[in-house]
């Protein structure tokens, strides 16, 4: 993937670990930060030394976390659903040509499956 925010461009394991630590009220949790301006807008994670610390010893623990971003809340479809929607979109694209307004019908099935499979990884983090 070449654009930040798309499924498979996040460190899901790290996100899951951070949310679990907050949920269990561990102390001194380093919260990853991201710099969208790095690399001419391509972005990159800040070094750990620049991450915020939450639940510092002696402070009230975090009660609420707001997690927002591209594709947050999207869920993977079954493989059959993905293929069916893709085939219908391809047929529409082939029949309408340049009048086709969608994106799905222009993509390769392998690319669509890649994104769908990546969405499955997010389920653990966003339950």
What value does the mean pLDDT of the chain take?
90
Q: For 114, what's the count of Cα atoms within 13 Å in the CB-facing half-sphere?
A: 9
CA distance 30 to 21: 10
pLDDT tens-digit series, residues 41-99: 888 889 999 999 999 999 999 999 988 877 778 899 999 999 999 999 999 999 999 99
CA distance 22 to 104: 37
Domain boundaries defined on the chain: 1-72, 77-120
Helix 79-96 and helix 109-122: axis angle, to 10°? 140
Does the pLDDT of residue 112 top 70, yes or no? yes
Give the residue-averaged pLDDT of 15-27.
Answer: 94
What are the start-end ranges of the E strands in the chain? 29-31, 34-35, 44-45, 52-54
Cβ pair 67, 73 in contact under 8 A: no
What are the start-end ranges of the E strands in 32-123? 34-35, 44-45, 52-54
């Amino acid at each position: 993937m070449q654009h930040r925010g798309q499924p498979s461009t996040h460190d899901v394991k790290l996100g899951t670990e951070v949310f679990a630590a907050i949920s269990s009220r561990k102390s001194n949790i380093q919260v990853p930060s991201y710099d969208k301006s790095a690399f001419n807008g391509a972005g990159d994670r800040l070094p750990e030394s620049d991450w915020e610390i939450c639940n510092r010893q002696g402070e009230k623990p975090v009660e609420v976390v707001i997690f927002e971003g591209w594709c947050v809340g999207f869920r993977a479809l079954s493989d059959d659903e993905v293929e069916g929607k893709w085939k219908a979109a391809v047929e529409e694209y082939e029949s309408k040509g340049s009048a086709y307004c969608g994106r799905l019908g222009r993509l390769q099935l392998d690319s669509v499956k890649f994104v769908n499979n990546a969405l499955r990884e997010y389920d653990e983090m966003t339950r």
